Amino acid sequence: MRFSKDLAKRLRFDLFPRKDFFRRRYRLVGTIVAIAGVVVWVLLTVTLRQRQYLPGPVSQNHATFGGRCEVCHTSFQNVRNAACEECHGKRVHSTFEQRTPECRDCHVEHRGAAALLTIGAQPCVECHGNLVTTNPHPLIQTSIATFAAHPQFAPLREGVLDTAALRFNHKLHLTSDKVVNEKLTCASCHEQEVKGRLMRPIVFATHCQRCHKQEVTGVGEDGSDGLPIAIEARHDTPELIRPDLMAKLVVAAVDHPEIFEAQNSMLPGIRTRAPADASRTLQDYRAKWIERLERELYEPFRDQQPLLEHNKRCFLCHGQKGTRASGDLPIVVKTGIPARWLTRGEFSHGRHELLSCATCHGNVERSSATADTNLPPREICQQCHVDGSPQSARTTCMTCHLYHDTSKDPLVRRDRRKEVRLETIKSQ
């Protein structure tokens, strides 16, 4: 017979296992783990400072002080512009912007040196895709999302002319057989400046003088004789040309005493002996000849005159300001040849020097007026700078623009760009 007592004896009442070591001493263990954690944390903080949190090392540019996280980070806050500006100074993109973006939106820290300065189109398009500006009269197009949909460059827009006040005819100089002494090429007048971005300015002495010598002899309007030797006028303002001519007249008189002594008589071909004309004193002599020499330089050039005989005249090339009262010196209009056309972009000739000039300036040989703007339109750039094509030259906004416009002077701005030569990129 089975008694319930026996059955009951077989039942186990210790259903819960005996507490093991850890369960029994959980408070102690917990405390030890916590203390160990704090100790490790303190050790790491002491030895590695705060680098145990690092998502990636601080970029190389910042490595020298990268250990001092606090120069950029404040606890429980995103890195603020003020921290960066502490070292880099305040930076202005546009005084018309509606909000100031965060430095970290564009410059990614802890992802290596490249990430710090590789900025895609996105941060720019965020504003320029649909630009809101505080400028009541926006100076620029307000919708630019890609280079493919980029507005035409300002100097290439309908009706914009080259306003330089210097007469120059590319077609004539490059193709006319009247230019006999040499074959002119682009390089005869346009050389890259040292930085390789722009062309050097045109200089009369280097690029024009050898064919357009300003030699004057003071031949009278009536065909009366001039000086027996030609005097070359200095190329400068009329105020400075006058004393220079005066000095050269004296030198000429020393070298050629016959200037003082001989003169045409009334009888053709027969010369009377001294004294020459009315100029007995040096002062008379200079006053008379300076007038004749200056007339030869400053009489305006008229189109029907044979060109080559008048190519010394200032106003063959220059404009004259106002009309000149007799006796006054003329005023030469400032030439105003633009040093830079695309003032809002950072184009560089050096980067494109493997290309022929005609790739981008194909119209020059057919251009006969200064007013022609022989610059490449956007479509020519888009043959190589193609959005979305893997073989393309770069098309991010940063390729052609600076963001931190610390100078409105493009000549200063361009020095700030990093140089990447075309050959390097082609060989990669």
Q: Which is nearer to ligand HEC, 138 or 275 (CB)?
A: 138
Query: Least separation, in Å, of the C-beta of 223 and ligand HEC?
Result: 22
Interatomic CA distance for residues 288 and 286, integer angstroms: 5
In angstroms, the CA 204 to CA 312 distance is 12
**Closer CB to ligand HEC, 128 or 292, in the complex:** 128
Neighbours of 230 (CB within 10 A): 15
* The two three-digit tokens of residue 175, written as one number: 């193709």
- Measured CA distances, 71 to 52, 57, 81, 166, 376 (Å): 17, 15, 12, 56, 47
Nearest distance in Å: CB 76, ligand HEC: 10
Give the phi and the psi of residue 89 in degrees, each rounded to 5.
80, 165
- Please identify, using beta-carbon distances, which residue of 212 and 288 lies nearer to ligand HEC: 212
Q: How far is the CB of 277 from ligand HEC (least distance, A)?
A: 25
296 in Cβ contact with 218 (< 8 Å)? yes
User: For ligand HEC, which is the closer residue by CB, 39 or 307?
Assistant: 307
CA–CA separation, 293 and 233 (whole Å): 9
The number of residues making up the chain comes to 428
Contact between 110 and 57 (Cβ < 8 Å): yes
* Between 252 and 316, CB nearer to ligand HEC: 316
Task: Report, in Å, the least distance between residue 149 CB and ligand HEC.
Answer: 8
Contact 54, 109 (CB under 8 A): no
Q: Which is nearer to ligand HEC, 154 or 260 (CB)?
A: 154
Both structure tokens of 197: 């971005």
Residues 6+ apart with CB under 8 A from 274: 260, 261, 262
Question: Least distance to ligand HEC from the beta carbon of 32, Å?
Answer: 28
Between 118 and 272, name the residue whose CB sits nearer to ligand HEC: 118
CB-nearer residue toward ligand HEC: 112 or 260? 112
Q: What is the C-alpha to C-alpha distance for residues 188 and 191, in angstroms, rounded to an integer?
A: 8
Nearer to ligand HEC, 260 or 300 (CB): 300
Residues 6 or more apart from 218 whose CB is under 8 A from it? 226, 227, 289, 292, 293, 295, 296
**CB 62 within 8 Å of CB 83:** no
Q: Which is nearer to ligand HEC, 73 or 272 (CB)?
A: 73
200 vs 256 by CB, closer to ligand HEC:
200
For 412, counting Cβ atoms within 10 Å of its Cβ (0-12 exposed, 13-18 middle, 19+ buried), the class is exposed
**Residues 319, 325, 326, 329: is their CA dihedral positive or negative?**
negative
Alpha-carbon separation of residue 277 from 55, 260, 261, 274 (angstroms): 95, 8, 8, 8
Would you state the structure tokens that stand for residue 219, as one six-digit string? 């031949």
What is the nearest approach in angstroms of ligand HEC to the Cβ of residue 425?
A: 4
The CB-of-259 to ligand HEC minimum distance in angstroms stands at 22
Q: Is 228 in contact with 255 (CB distance < 8 Å)? A: no
CB 326 to ligand HEC: min, Å: 18
Quote the least distance from Cβ 21 to ligand HEC, whole Å: 38
- Residue whose C-alpha is closest to residue 70's, from 89, 83, 81: 83
In angstroms, give the least distance from the CB of 108 to ligand HEC.
7
Provide the minimum distance between the beta carbon of 36 and ligand HEC in the complex, in angstroms, as a whole number: 22
